[in-house]
Amino acid sequence: MSDLSDLTTEAASRDAADPLAHLRDRFDLDPDVVYLDGNSLGALPRGVAERVAEVITKEWGRDLIRSWFGNGWWTAPERVGDKIAPIIGAAPGQVVVGDSTSVNLFKALVGAARLALPDDGPPPGGAEASTGGGASNARTELLVDDETFPTDGYIASSAAELTGLVLRRVPAAGLAAAIGPQTAVVLANQVDYRSGTLLDLAELARAARAAGAVVVADLCHSAGALPVGVDALGIELAVGCSYKYLNGGPGAPAYLYVRADLQSRFRQPLSGWHGHVEPFAMRTEFERAGGIVAGRVGTPEILSLVALDTALDAWAGVEIEAVRAKSIALTDFFLRCVDELVPAGAVACVTPVEGARRGSQIALACADAERVMAELTERGIIGDFRPPDLLRFGFAPLYLRYADALRAATVLAEVLG
């Protein structure tokens, strides 16, 4: 058992040895705050304010309409997508940025149903599917984990209604096993937004492939926190927001991943002019653009998009494996500090204690959690309350220190003591 002094020494020594410690300087942080809500709204990267100001005053104010091509606004959704791609393990040309996560989920789910259902050609699963699956017209269901972030379930319900599928909710842990020849589409959150539990996406992908079902992964709580490796997983589609671990700013545009070999067949329902093969020809009939451009809809919100573009520069030279290593070490250390300092029985960890089985957050069940989080915030420890009884602490490895983890646990102990 360590005391506070030992933990303080350990935190200092870990921070001194942290190979990512220098990244903290890439953010504009309040020195009086320990910010453990970067999994809800990431901190402000340096340079964003200056870049947005330049876009407003010069590109909008002076270059005006000419900026769409002269300053690269038109192609920003793909260009910024290619900056996100390496963070989630995607080769270039498969990620496009724009619209909210919910809107991208809708594109992905309806597009996935069309990939999976016979009218739009054979399912993407290939040989395994034709031997292992039933008749493809027997695909009737859209599977979703029943602990999903709510908007995923809501959008899935609408997509199911419009495509004639039946929505079936099963526990995340049973998702892979639930996939069968009747499954058209599976929607899964890689990291549970409440508990932080990491789903075995590789197992899910294997089960889906064997059954010829199409996977849509929600990476909101995993991208930027751990190596997703979308290409290596072989999943078909993914979506994610850019305002959590990617630090793109409030409501920063989300992204859509469409695996390269499926792009020519990906027919998403929001067929706006930005996804047209020749938007300025202003033709009557919609003809889908090739490549990932097919995921675009309407005019992108440029100010939010350039903020994200600049924010992503904080990732320059960062290896996601190193981020993952620090994330686990940091959350392990926080759990130890909580164990040592917080009165026994005052909190119960609902996040898997084994680092490999969680994302980059720790959720602690606690009596009166809403009031406790308000008091923590009052004292400069900002996390999140999730009903009914969870304190949720997100650890963004790019800007958090071991000393921050210790301070958070110390203040939590004071509040609960």
Angle, vertex CA 180, rays to CA 179 and CA 184, nearest 5 = 80
**Cα-based torsion angle of the residue sequence 175, 177, 180, 184 in order, rounded to the nearest 10 degrees:** 20
Is 218 annotated in the active site? yes
Instruction: Tell me whether residue 301 or residue 414 sits nearer to a second copy (CB atom).
Output: 301
Which of 305, 320, 398, 412 forms a contact with a second copy (CB under 8 A)?
Answer: 305
402 is in an annotated binding site: no
For residues 191-250, which are near a second copy according to CB under 8 A?
194, 241, 243, 249-250
299 is in an annotated binding site: yes
CB 111 within 8 A of CB 268: yes
Q: What are phi and psi of 379, to 5 degrees?
A: -95, 15
Looking at 108, 302, 369, 412, which residue binds a second copy (CB under 8 A)?
A: 302
CB of 22 to a second copy, least distance (A): 20
Q: Which residues contact 205 (CB under 8 A, 6 or more apart)?
A: 215, 233, 234, 235
The residue from 122, 180, 227, 279 that contacts a second copy (CB under 8 A) is 279
Residue 350 near residue 362, CB atoms below 8 Å: no
221: annotated binding-site residue? Answer: yes
Q: Residue 151, annotated ligand binder?
A: yes
* 120 near a second copy, judged by CB under 8 A: no
**Is position 392 annotated as part of the catalytic site?**
yes
- Torsion angle of alpha carbons 122, 126, 128, 129, nearest 10°? -20
Using CB under 8 A, pick the residue from 11, 83, 101, 205 that binds a second copy: 101
User: CB neighbours of 254 closer than 8 A, spacing ≥ 6?
Assistant: 97, 98, 99, 100, 101, 103, 104, 239, 240, 241, 242
To the query of whether residue 193 is one of the catalytic residues in this protein, the response is no
Q: Pick the catalytic residue: 209, 392, 401, 407?
A: 392
Phi, psi of 258, deg, nearest 5: -125, 120
- Assess whether 399 carries a catalytic annotation: no
DSSP state string for 107-130: HHHHHHHHHHSGGG-S-TTTHHHH
User: Helix or strand or coil: residue 371?
Assistant: helix
- Residue 189 in contact with a second copy, rule: CB under 8 A: no
Cis peptide leading into 388, omega within 30 of 0?
yes
Residues 386-415 that bind a second copy (CB under 8 A): 386-387
Among residues 72, 134, 174, 251, which is the contact residue for a second copy, using CB under 8 A?
A: 251
Q: Does 380 bind a second copy (CB under 8 A)?
A: no
Torsion angle, CA of 334/339/344/346, rounded to 10 degrees? 10
* Annotated active-site residue in 106, 193, 243, 399: 243
Which residues have CB under 8 Å from 54's CB, separation 6+?
A: none
Q: Which of 7, 11, 52, 219 binds a second copy (CB under 8 A)?
A: 52
Question: Of 18, 82, 218, 389, which is the active-site residue?
Answer: 218
Q: Locate tokens 């005019």: which residue?
A: 299
* DSSP secondary structure code for residue 197 in this structure: B
* 28 lies in the site for a second copy, by CB under 8 A: yes
CB of 382 to a second copy, least distance (A): 6
- Closest approach, Cβ 181 to a second copy, in A, equals 25
Taking only Cα atoms into account, the Rg of the chain, rounded to an integer number of angstroms, comes to 22
**Residues 134-173, interacting with a second copy (CB under 8 A):** 146, 149-151, 153-155, 157-158, 162-163, 169
- Residues with a catalytic annotation lie at 149, 218, 243-244, 392
User: Which positions make up the binding site for pyridoxal 5'-phosphate?
Assistant: 101-102, 149-152, 218, 221, 243, 273, 299
User: Which positions make up the binding site?
Assistant: 101-102, 149-152, 218, 221, 243, 273, 299
